[in-house]
Amino acid sequence: MSKTTLGLIAAGSAAAGASITALIFSSRSSTPITTPASTIPAPAPLTSGFPAPQPVLTPVPQPLPSTTLPLAPVNPPGVLKYGLTPAISDTSITPSHLAAYNRMTRNPHWVAEHFTPQSLSLNNASRRNSVFYEDAAIPPMFRAKLSDYFRSGYDRGHQVPAADAKWSQDAMDSTFVLSNMCPQVGDGFNRDYWAHFEDFCRNLTKSYPSVRVVTGPLYLPKQYPDGKWRVSYEVIGNPPNVAVPTHFYKVIYGEESLHNPTCKVALGAFVLPNTEIPNSKSLRDFEVPLEAVERASGLIFADKLPIERRKKLCSDINCEIMVREFDRVKQQRTALNAGQIAPAQIAQESRRW
């Protein structure tokens, strides 16, 4: 089985992996599609004094003059006089990120962030001073609400992490807006593998002086026992209106220079299922072609970046997450000594790790 086929298969999520194989892992043909030329044959050369047979040309019907067209008895655009607002992606610019919001799913379409070694070295903010809040720029009927997440069983999952915006309290606070959130599985994903992945992105500043990341949700189909493919996802809230993504993607741009507009850029694309993922899983298993994310998201990435300036991220650096299990064990032991958790709970957590 090819690497691209294996790309998103996480432990315990075989169906999700199969869906990705069918939906986004098929590569576009590299053979250009051409339009056939005219089928009218060219005249044959003259032979032995006999003229070559000439092709029979079929007359091409000409359109009737506009004066002879019948007057249309209907006027579909007439409905616009009553008002018909098309689907809107509410775009927002905050101190920490640029984003587009999906009113139907109550999740972001995408969020884009930028960080550098300097921005990450600053420590002028604390999560303890930040609170989750609703996005007042989104109309109330389309807005994700704090109550939608209450007892939902899902985390309010940052798409732009708070840890990427420690350079100011305002920047960190802006990451807590609900339009930057998606429902994410907590244990084993948002608080574990996904957090390690976010840390991997920050560590890229050791190799690149400028890093940009676009993150967003996906809603991918899976194959059912009857052989058909269907998109199925949970919806939370009261009334149920916030979609729970089946997967998440990150597209990473590692820029070799912060100021040179013609520098090379290392590109990497990853798709992870919204489910518990063992920390032993290789990040390379979730690497996908950039085209795969484009097919699944409907977005086009880096189309203005010339091919000669592109590099493959995972050919340039080691695409593996670093899991600090000893930190988790130390935290659990501290909680045990404080009487906050029972020894059996530590044993259970250790088996899960």
Per the annotation, binding residues for Mg(2+) are 190
Rounded to the nearest 5°, which phi and psi values hold at 140? -50, -40
Tokens of 103: 């009113």
Distance, CA of 288 to CA of 189 (rounded, Å): 19
Give the number of other Cβ atoms within 10 Å of residue 107's Cβ.
Answer: 25
Cβ neighbours for 268, distance < 8 A, ≥ 6 positions apart = 251, 252, 254, 287, 312, 313, 314, 319
Distance, CA of 11 to CA of 287 (rounded, Å): 16
Rounded to the nearest 5°, which phi and psi values hold at 99? -150, 160
Q: Which of these is catalytic: 97, 109, 158, 247? A: 158
Beta bridge partners of 24: none
Q: Is 158 a catalytic residue?
A: yes
Distance, CA of 219 to CA of 235 (rounded, Å): 12
CA distances, 347 to each of 279, 336, 342, 343 (Å): 17, 11, 9, 6
Give the number of other Cβ atoms within 10 Å of residue 101's Cβ.
Answer: 26
Triad 347, 348, 352: Cα angle to 5° = 115
* Catalytic positions, written as ranges: 158
